[in-house]
């Protein structure tokens, strides 16, 4: 079979299964109000939870950074790509999260791969929530460690696997528990205090990917660790991203000095890639400042979440149980999820139809995400249109 024949057959099958993915072309800045193919729409699918991606102060900080440092960083962090802006951002992230030290990565995917593969080898064990993000799953598999997925948010399932490892291994082995903080397709929050307890009981390490919690959760926006008041000792490996609530790009790991120094030495996705543009670091420094100074954004976001859920309930829309900006509505059938999403887009609302393999088979859904910049009127209009689309 030729390569082209193989590729075409896969694409045809993808279309027949209603799983074919297509990109929308954005003609405007990111935000609640966007232009797609020359049409004005209201977006309910962005991860820009606080409305910072197009904030004038963030844009200005980016411009200043580009004026001073230029555009590209020109090298990896360990050659000559680590600017003063990178260093200052790392220090500010560490202070904000209450950790000793931070290290920047070019994306959340690279951060997860970097830390897990740096810490584990074939003699170790990694335990992951069944609904973890793809980057965490890939990180566990690529580490070479013995890999086990436990039932979603089920600490008893996790404990059972940990006990089995303990009983079957007479010599000491490293064990890493990895979970999303906020699950990206369900919107629910991991039971971190219980995971801390289980990790301590079983002499295991704990890591969370707080991509969707950082900036959105906690009194000051420091994410799940602040939400549950977890110390560095309780939660030793914390990953966060900068391209969601902070509205810029990149990711970071925070933890002890020994952890971060180990990643500098051993994380291949940090060592062997070009550093983030310094201007992005400067823009992120401003975003981080706004997260701390403009608490009204987080308050408005959570007001919108409460309003959305209450209004959906009055319309008998059966949302998944989520108190975060991610508000999924399970449709089930792939084709129907696409049709409902298209109906919404024709009416001027952008909501993503999420299908397998991103979510389990039979659970295709609309992944509605809320922002601090949505108005209650926009929420009501979306829900009314959605109700009509589901009846069609």
Residue 317 token pair: 């829309």
Query: Count of residues for the chain?
Result: 392
Query: Which is the catalytic residue, given 225, 244, 287, 341?
Result: 244
Instruction: Give me the torsion for CA of 61, 62, 67, 69, rounded to 10°.
Output: 110
Catalytic (active site) residue 212? yes
Catalytic (active site) residue 244? yes
DSSP 275: P
Distance of alpha carbon 109 from alpha carbon 114, whole angstroms: 8
- The phi and psi torsions of 104 (rounded to 5 degrees) equal -90, 145
Catalytic (active site) residue 107? no
Distance of alpha carbon 60 from alpha carbon 150, whole angstroms: 45
User: Prior bond to 357 cis, omega within 30?
Assistant: yes
- In whole angstroms, how far apart are CA 221 and each of 15, 170, 212, 216, 299? 41, 43, 11, 5, 10
Distance of alpha carbon 325 from alpha carbon 368, whole angstroms: 8
Query: Which is the catalytic residue, given 83, 107, 184, 371?
Result: 184
Tokens 């995917």 sit on residue:
109
Distance of alpha carbon 361 from alpha carbon 333, whole angstroms: 9
Query: Which is the catalytic residue, given 55, 212, 287, 322?
Result: 212
Sorted by sequence, the CB contacts under 8 Å of residue 81 that are 6+ apart come out as 73, 74, 75, 274, 275
Distance of alpha carbon 184 from alpha carbon 199, whole angstroms: 23
Distance of alpha carbon 65 from alpha carbon 210, whole angstroms: 27
HEC assignment per residue over 72-85 = CCCCEHHHHHCCHH
Burial of 166 (0-12, 13-18, 19+ CB in 10 A): middle
No. of helices (H) and no. of strands (E), the chain: 14, 13
Give the residue numbers marked as catalytic.
184, 212, 244
């Amino acid at each position: 079979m030729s390569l082209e024949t193989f590729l075409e057959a896969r694409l045809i099958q993808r279309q027949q299964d209603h799983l074919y993915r297509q990109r929308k072309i954005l003609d405007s800045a990111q935000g609640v109000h966007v232009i797609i193919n020359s049409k004005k729409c209201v977006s309910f699918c962005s991860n820009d939870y606080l409305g910072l991606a197009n904030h004038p102060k963030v844009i200005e900080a980016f411009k200043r950074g580009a004026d001073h440092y230029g555009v590209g960083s020109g090298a990896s962090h360990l050659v000559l790509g680590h600017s003063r802006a990178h260093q200052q951002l790392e220090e500010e992230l560490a202070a904000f999260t209450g950790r000793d030290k931070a290290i920047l990565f070019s994306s959340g995917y690279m951060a997860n791969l970097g830390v897990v593969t740096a810490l584990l080898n074939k003699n170790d064990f990694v335990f992951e929530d069944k609904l973890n993000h793809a980057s965490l799953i890939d990180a566990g598999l690529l580490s070479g460690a013995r890999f086990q997925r436990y039932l979603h948010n089920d600490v008893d399932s996790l404990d059972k696997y940990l006990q089995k490892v303990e009983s079957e291994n007479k010599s000491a082995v490293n064990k890493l528990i990895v979970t999303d903080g906020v699950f990206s397709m369900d919107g629910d929050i991991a039971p971190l205090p219980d995971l801390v307890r289980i990790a301590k009981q079983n002499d295991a390490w704990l890591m969370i990917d707080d991509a969707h919690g950082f900036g959105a959760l906690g009194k000051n926006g420091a994410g799940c660790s602040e939400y549950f008041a977890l110390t560095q000792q309780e939660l030793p490996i914390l990953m966060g991203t900068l391209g969601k609530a902070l509205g810029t790009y990149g990711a970071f790991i925070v933890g002890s000095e020994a952890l971060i120094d180990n990643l500098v030495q051993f994380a291949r996705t940090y060592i062997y890639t070009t550093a983030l543009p310094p201007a992005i670091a400067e823009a992120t420094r401003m975003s981080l400042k706004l997260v701390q100074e403009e608490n009204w954004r987080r308050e408005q976001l959570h007001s919108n979440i409460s309003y959305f859920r209450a209004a959906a309930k009055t319309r008998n829309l059966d949302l998944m149980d989520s108190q975060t900006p991610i508000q999924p509505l399970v449709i089930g059938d792939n084709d129907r999820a696409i049709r409902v999403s298209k109906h919404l887009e024709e009416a001027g609302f952008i909501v993503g139809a999420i299908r397998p393999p991103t979510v389990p088979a039979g659970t295709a859904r609309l992944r509605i995400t809320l922002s601090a910049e949505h108005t209650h009127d926009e929420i009501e209009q979306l829900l009314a249109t959605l109700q009509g689309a589901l009846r069609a």
